[in-house]
Amino acid sequence: MSTISTTGQFPPGFLWGTATAAYQIEGAAAEGGRGPSIWDTLCRVPGAVQGGDTGDVACDHYHRWAEDVDHLDRLGVSAYRLSISWSRVQPGGRGPLNREGVEFYRNLLDALRERGITPYVTLYHWDLPQELEDAGGWAVRETAEAFADYARAMARELGDRVALWTTLNEPWCSAYLGYASGVHAPGRTEPAAALAAVHHLNLAHGLAVRAIREEIPGAACSITLNLHVFRAASGSAADADAVRQVDGLANRVFLGPLLEGAYPADVQADTAGVSDWSFVLDGDLELVRQPLDVLGVNYYSSTRVRRFVGDGEPVRADGHKTTAVSPWVAADDVEFLPQPGPRTAMGWNVEPAGLTELLLGLHETYPDQALAVTENGAAFDDEVVEDPALGIDRVHDVARVAYLRDHVAAVAAAIDAGADVRGYFAWSLMDNFEWAYGFSKRFGLLRVDYPTGERTWKDSAYWYARLARSGRLPAVFEAGPTD
């Protein structure tokens, strides 16, 4: 499929990593002094998570972390992107730290350092301490202030061990899936609150970066966004305007304040019927805009939209569980069309060229901004088979290998064309708790057997190890063990 030519050359120091998130892998939800988060709560709402799954045990990484660091070492990756569970280190979201929780991350980071693996640490991958949600969650400003205090505390406790601080993972999901469509925690369906959450997440980022750099002058900071690549269904002006509208809601509402110090006027106009944006206070925009050492980009697929005209129900094949409420605030007349071409088990279309476009588009708009692909990967229906020759279990996940190869080639193409991309992180190191889909979707390079927690290298893991060790793109047939 890939017509992208690549010499397989990546810049010196380019990071090859894998990524995970605390709630998706750790388990030990009520152990070691951890407090409840909004995901612990949502998992107990009947029907909220497929199969009634919860992150109570997940991959049991809290107990198996040393083994998992061994896997990273064997993979030969130069970096690992992990997240800190806020409610593990500060159970109430405010107030005293939980020493045992801090110690867990200190040990993990030390083990990574011993193996020479660069840690990218995300402070917030969706697991808000429940007490803060009870006080209003991301819809209120105080949550942004609490986040900055938490960030400062982490910088103080773990600062010397962290290579790059990422404040937030995908605030789009936190705001719109958490507060508008409600398919993610805290499961609220209040569009006005979702817009307030957008701003308070942006503000939380800015306040946290400032706090981290007050503790550690010159600390490397970033944020990770799930920027959407939109395609118009036709060349019509109406469809181009639909792209403008959703691009505003998904991309520019974050990029604008973070990198340019302003909210897009068209987004504020489009949503005027929902909110007057009075949550943006004087001085906020200066706080939100902090220099970013890296802008993290998560990319999985592209999205095709059309302006809805006519009768009946607009098409909503937007890759989410069908819900009564759309995550797209004040955009009921935008249709989300099924994309042509191959799909993953999530139903998401496979379109590597979208990643090249995304990176090059960012490079054109923000030429001096360093970038990293902080997540990319695919869920497929893996099967375990026995390999009689080697006497081990195998997962011949050819489709995942092809997906990864084509997307890594897409990154190479962006670099060739001038984008400053510092690293690539495969999502995910291992199968894990896929949010509203529970354990039904598998994104891992390593297979996790539930409930034993046993890890098995998929062919994609062997393939990725060859890439990480050599910095050159192996062929798909080079997946699987040879020695």
Catalytic residues: 170, 375
Phi, psi of 397, deg, nearest 5: -90, 65
Examine residue 430 and tell whether it contacts ligand GBH (CB under 6 A): no
Examine residue 143 and tell whether it contacts ligand GBH (CB under 6 A): no
Phi, psi of 231, deg, nearest 5: -125, 135
CB of 132 or CB of 227, closer to ligand GBH: 227
Cβ neighbour number for residue 361 with a 10 Å cutoff? 15
Closest by Cα among 423, 431, 374 to 122: 374
Asked whether 62 and 127 are in contact (CB, 8 A), the reply is no
Examine residue 318 and tell whether it contacts ligand GBH (CB under 6 A): yes
Of the residues 61, 320, 394, 447, which one makes contact with ligand GBH according to CB under 6 A:
320
Least CB distance from residue 11 to ligand GBH, whole Å? 25
Closest by Cα among 363, 105, 120, 102 to 222: 120
CB of 169 or CB of 271, closer to ligand GBH: 169
Residue 349 tokens, joined: 């279309």
Beta bridge partners of 426: 18, 376
Examine residue 173 and tell whether it contacts ligand GBH (CB under 6 A): yes
CB of 285 or CB of 461, closer to ligand GBH: 461
Ranges of beta strands (E only) in 271-315 are 294-298, 302-307
Q: Which one of 313-321, 349-357, 391-399, 416-424 is the stretch in contact with ligand GBH (CB under 6 A)?
A: 313-321
CB of 62 or CB of 299, closer to ligand GBH: 299
Phi, psi of 111, deg, nearest 5: -65, -40
Closest by Cα among 360, 415, 405, 358 to 378: 405
Examine residue 424 and tell whether it contacts ligand GBH (CB under 6 A): no
Of the residues 78, 85, 202, 298, which one makes contact with ligand GBH according to CB under 6 A:
298
Q: Tell me which residue has tokens 């869920």.
A: 379
Nearest-angstrom CA–CA distance, 411 and 125 = 24
Least CB distance from residue 349 to ligand GBH, whole Å? 10
Of the residues 336, 403, 439, 457, which one makes contact with ligand GBH according to CB under 6 A:
336
Examine residue 403 and tell whether it contacts ligand GBH (CB under 6 A): no
List binders of ligand GBH among 36-65 (CB under 6 A): none
Of the residues 53, 60, 375, 459, which one makes contact with ligand GBH according to CB under 6 A:
375
Asked whether 56 and 439 are in contact (CB, 8 A), the reply is no
CB of 304 or CB of 405, closer to ligand GBH: 304
Judged by the rule CB under 6 A, the positions of this chain that interact with ligand GBH are 21, 24, 169-170, 173, 226, 228, 298, 300, 303, 318-320, 336, 375, 427, 434, 443
